Every structure is written in C-alpha cells, then in structure tokens.
C-alpha cells in the first residue's frame, strides 16, 4: 500500500467511525457508561442473570470502611450472608434465637432491591457448640437430632418466609474422594462430625429437610449445595459429581421438593482449569432433570508464600500467570452459566481480597488472592474478564426451570 492510499484508508476509516458514532448516539440516546464502569448487577441484567456476593456482616457494618458497604449495595443483585444465617449464629444458646444480624442483612438487601440466597439449613459444620458437643459425646441421639433439625428448618424458614429467593436447604452432605472410605458416600471421614451427623440422621434426612423447608415457605426455591461438583469425572465410585447427580435425580423421582443444585465453585489455580464445555455439559445434565442451577460461592485462589500479603509474596512467583489463571477460572464458570438459561445466579464468596475467607482457611500451603478486587479494592484481571463476559452474555434468558 502506498503512503497516499494508507492516508486515504485512514481518512475513510475515521469518517466511517465518526458517522457510526453519530448514528449510535442519535439512535440510542446518550452513550452508556464504559463497560469497566458498569456494575456487575447491571451487566448481568443484560442476560437476565443475577450476580451476587457473600456479605461479611462485620465489614458491612464497619463505618471506617464505607467502600465495602457501597460496593455490596451497588455491584450486586443478589446477596448471601457469609455466616449470619448459620445455625451457630442463629441459635448460639439452645432454645434462644438471635435474629439481629440476619434480620439486618435481609432488610439491607430489600432496601437495595437484591434477591437473598438463604444459607444454610442442614449442614454438619458451624453448628452451635451445644449441638456439636452433643453429637460428638452421644448425648444427642438420632431421634433427638432429627427433631432438632426439623424445628430448626421450620423456625428459620418461617421467620424469613416470603423474603428468601433460594434456600441452601442441604449443604455438603457427601464425602470427598480423599476421605476414608474413598468411595463417595453420605458423610465424610470415618469418625468425623460430618459422618456422625449423617449417620445419626440416616439417609432419608435430605428428603425430609426439603419437605420441611417447602412446608414453611412454599415459594422459596430449594437447593442442594456442594463443592467440587463443577464437572463429571469418570462416573466411578470416586466421582463426587456423579454421586450428587444420582442423589438429586432420585430425590426428583421420589417427588421430593428440590428445585435446584448449587455448585459452590471454590477453585484454586494450583489444580489447573476446568474445560468450559465440560462445565456447561454438567449444568445441562442437572437442568435436564428439571432443576435450576446456580454458582453459589465462586472464588479462584492461588498459592502464596505469605497469605497475609498475597500480592507481595506472589510477585516473585509469576503473579501475572496466577492472575490470568484465576481470571480464566472465573471465565469458565461464568461462561458455562451463561450458556444455560436455567443457571439463575452467579455468586462470588466475597469480592475483595481484604475480606476473604481464603487466607484464614487455606493455610497449608498458604493460598490467597481469589477475589475480583484486590485487598486495596483495585480491579483485577478476573474482574475485567467477568465484566467482558457479562457484556457479551447475550439477550435476556427466560428461565423455565425449576419445573414444579
Ligand atoms: C465459610 C465462611 O466464609 C467463613 O467465614 C467461615 O469461617 C467458614 O465458612 N462452604 C460454605 C460456606 O458453604 O458456608 C463456607 O463459608 C465456605 C465453604
């Protein structure tokens, strides 16, 4: 191309761009804010998806840190209480409920026009001390635990009736392949609280839990929620996704009122990445059962030497690669969700590395840096990736599932 032709081509491109810009501005009114400046809730709404976060009640109430609250209020269209609705929070003393924190959380969500995911009803973890001690020392037997669980579900679901969009009715009921025995089963390691909880209640407790929840709030969508069920494995005895699939298929076949499966989505870059289509196909198999699906606790952490300062420690260990791997993990789950119109919501388990459960939980080896914003509330590649994916997410989806 000659210099002259290049100049002409450049001029032509400029004229075309200017004309298109003028047409877009006059036809569509004022130009929308740049994609990077749009909230996740606004971008997700383009495709009819709800975008959520877990909310740390202490950070939300901290007047010294107004940014946390303003981002919860402004960025998200659904919220989950990180701890405030757990049994240990609601009934720390046997027979005495403490609703204050959970009530404040739900009221704030309603002020902000956010849908609430209720988390969590039947779970072996974060039980009040009086209950876990009783299970461990045998002073609470099977029938007693069943009666306590029935009362707990009935009281809590009734308390919030009409105000909860999705309830995590049963959480993490099945074992992991690295536990003993290694074949996936209801419960966990032999002798663990997880196993005792399952054994005392017996295999029918899931069906009962869903029925009790449905009786207390007929409108709320009722979910089974678990981690490491993003994709099917080999279908054998160590395949947790297959076990959960068989479990919920059986519940549906028995007419148990279960509406959805929540895939937590706690990922770590040390384990490599999922395949987008493998995740999409997994969601599809669940929704083919007539169930809705949701990603309920997404984060994508990385190994760090110093978990209290993940960014600094990782800088010497190829931070860029970790950042990109984390972003890709978000992308895989979000794209799979957007590919399925029965994927109702995509919730992250905290949005800033400043208030994330990761460094406190994954210590050996130390992990961190799993959120969309860093510890100084600065956007990370994962945030920009998610914003781009939402922008490209296509027209609003009309969810048809769950089928009731
Ligand atoms: C975590 C919270 O984020 C922590 O603050 C708490 O100390 C432990 O629990 N799966 C779940 C969540 O269903 O409730 C857990 O939340 C994370 C794993």
- Say if CB 256 and CB 204 are below 8 A apart: no
Q: Which two tokens stand for residue 118?
A: 């209720």
DSSP 276-287: HHHHHHHHHHHH
pLDDT of 306 reads 56
Query: Which atom, in ligand 1's list, is nearest to the CA of 227?
Result: 10
| 269 Cβ below 6 A of ligand 1 | no
Rounded Cα distance between 209 and 205, Å, is 6
Residue (of 160, 93, 147) closest to 120 by Cα position? 160
Residue (of 168, 266, 172) closest to 226 by Cα position? 172
Ranges of residues in the chain with a pLDDT under 70 are: 1-27, 305-317
| 323 Cβ below 6 A of ligand 1 | no
- Say if CB 139 and CB 94 are below 8 A apart: no
| 367 Cβ below 6 A of ligand 1 | no
Q: Which residues are tagged catalytic?
A: 172, 297
| 357 Cβ below 6 A of ligand 1 | yes
- Say which residue the tokens 């870059």 belong to: 269
C-alpha distances in angstroms, 336 versus 42, 299, 333, 352, 388?
Answer: 19, 15, 5, 23, 14
Query: Which atom, in ligand 1's list, is nearest to the CA of 171?
Result: 13
Give the distance (Å) from ligand 1 centre to CA of residue 404: 30
Give the distance (Å) from ligand 1 centre to CA of residue 83: 7
- Say which residue the tokens 């706690």 belong to: 266
Q: pTM for the whole thing?
A: 0.92
| 56 Cβ below 6 A of ligand 1 | no
pLDDT of 20 reads 37
pLDDT of 107 reads 98
Residue (of 75, 86, 81) closest to 36 by Cα position? 75
| 87 Cβ below 6 A of ligand 1 | no
pLDDT of 149 reads 99
Instruction: Give the distance from CA 17 to its chain's centroid.
Output: 41
Query: Which atom, in ligand 1's list, is nearest to the CA of 123?
Result: 13
pLDDT of 374 reads 96
Give the distance (Å) from ligand 1 centre to CA of residue 26: 49
Give the distance (Å) from ligand 1 centre to CA of residue 125: 9
Q: Which two tokens stand for residue 158?
A: 């009734």
Nearest protein CA to atom 12 of ligand 1, as residue: 82
* Dihedral of the alpha carbons of 215, 219, 225, 230, in degrees to the nearest 10: 140
pLDDT of 272 reads 82
pLDDT of 212 reads 99
Give the distance (Å) from ligand 1 centre to CA of residue 307: 18
Nearest protein CA to atom 13 of ligand 1, as residue: 171
Q: Which two tokens stand for residue 307?
A: 């978990």
| 297 Cβ below 6 A of ligand 1 | yes
């Amino acid at each position: 191309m000659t210099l002259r032709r290049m100049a002409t081509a450049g001029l032509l491109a400029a004229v075309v761009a200017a004309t298109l810009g003028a047409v877009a501005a006059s036809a569509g009114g004022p130009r929308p804010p740049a994609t990077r400046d749009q909230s996740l809730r606004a971008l997700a709404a383009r495709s009819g998806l709800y975008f959520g976060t877990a909310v740390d009640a202490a950070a939300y109430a901290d007047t010294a840190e107004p940014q946390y609250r303003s981002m919860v209020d402004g960025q998200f269209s659904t919220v989950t209480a990180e701890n405030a609705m757990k049994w240990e929070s609601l009934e720390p003393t046997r027979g005495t409920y403490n609703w204050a924190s959970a009530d404040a959380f739900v009221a704030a969500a309603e002020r902000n026009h956010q849908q609430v995911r209720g988390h969590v009803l039947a779970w072996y973890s974060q039980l009040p001390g009086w209950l876990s001690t009783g299970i461990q020392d045998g002073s609470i037997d099977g029938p007693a635990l069943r009666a306590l669980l029935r009362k707990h579900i009935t009281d809590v679901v009734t308390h919030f009736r009409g105000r909860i969009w999705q309830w995590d009715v049963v959480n993490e009921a099945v074992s992991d392949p690295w536990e003993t025995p290694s074949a996936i089963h209801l419960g966990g390691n032999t002798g663990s609280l997880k196993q005792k909880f399952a054994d005392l209640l017996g295999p029918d407790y899931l069906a009962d839990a869903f029925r009790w929840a449905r009786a207390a709030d007929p409108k709320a969508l009722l979910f089974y929620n678990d981690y490491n069920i993003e994709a099917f494995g080999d279908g054998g005895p160590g395949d947790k996704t297959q076990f959960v699939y068989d479990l919920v298929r059986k519940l549906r076949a028995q007419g148990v009122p279960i509406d959805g499966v929540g895939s937590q989505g706690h990922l770590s870059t040390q384990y490599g990445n999922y395949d987008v289509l493998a995740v999409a196909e997994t969601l599809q198999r669940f929704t083919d059962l007539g169930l809705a699906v949701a990603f309920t606790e997404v984060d994508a952490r990385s190994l760090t030497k110093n978990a209290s300062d993940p960014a600094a420690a990782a800088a010497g260990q190829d931070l860029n690669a970790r950042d990109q791997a984390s972003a890709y993990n978000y992308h895989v789950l979000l794209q799979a969700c957007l590919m399925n119109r029965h994927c109702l919501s995509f919730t992250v388990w905290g949005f800033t590395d400043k208030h994330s459960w990761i460094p406190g939980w994954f210590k050996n080896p130390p992990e961190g840096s799993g959120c969309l914003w860093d510890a100084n509330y600065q956007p990370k590649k994962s945030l920009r990736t998610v914003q781009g994916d939402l922008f490209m997410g296509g027209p609003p989806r009309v969810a048809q599932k769950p089928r009731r």
